[in-house]
Amino acid sequence: MKKIIALFVMLFAFSVGMNAQDRSKIEEAARKDVGMLKEIIELDKQTEDALFWLFVKKHDAFAAPDLNEERVKGIAQTIEAKLRATLSDEKIETLIKKDKNLFRQLVANGK
């Protein structure tokens, strides 16, 4: 019985550790997205934080194992809509004008 409990605890600890590593990679990718965006347009702290969490959700969604083409398009459309809602039209235009590929990368999978 003790061995079963110990095995269960080890399995649980391992899975929590894996989730923490995955989360760290996702947050790192989101920080990279925000950093690239900040190189093109100026962001205040509140907008930067909002975009960070948007990109965390983006990378988390794209990390799902059961993605199909339709879902990828849906995620990209949602991210684009939220990005456009968060940034002013002027900032979106500046971003697209200066680096259209970055805009595409920010709303898509980024690969």
First CA to last CA across the chain, in angstroms?
A: 47
Q: Alpha carbon 53 to chain centroid distance? A: 7
Residue 66 pLDDT level (bands cut at 50, 70, 90): confident
Q: What is the pLDDT averaged over residues 63-78?
A: 89
In the chain, what are the domain boundaries?
A: 27-107
Q: What was the pLDDT predicted at 104?
A: 92
Which residues, 6+ apart, have CB-to-CB distance to 10 below 8 Å?
A: none
Transcribe 37-70 into DSSP letters. HHHHS---HHHHHHHHHHHHHHHHHHT-TT--HH
Q: What was the pLDDT predicted at 51?
A: 94
Per-residue pLDDT at 83 exceeds 90: yes
> What pLDDT, in 10s, does the model give residues 24-48?
899 999 999 999 999 999 999 999 9
If DSSP codes are grouped into helix, strand and coil, which group holds residue 81? helix
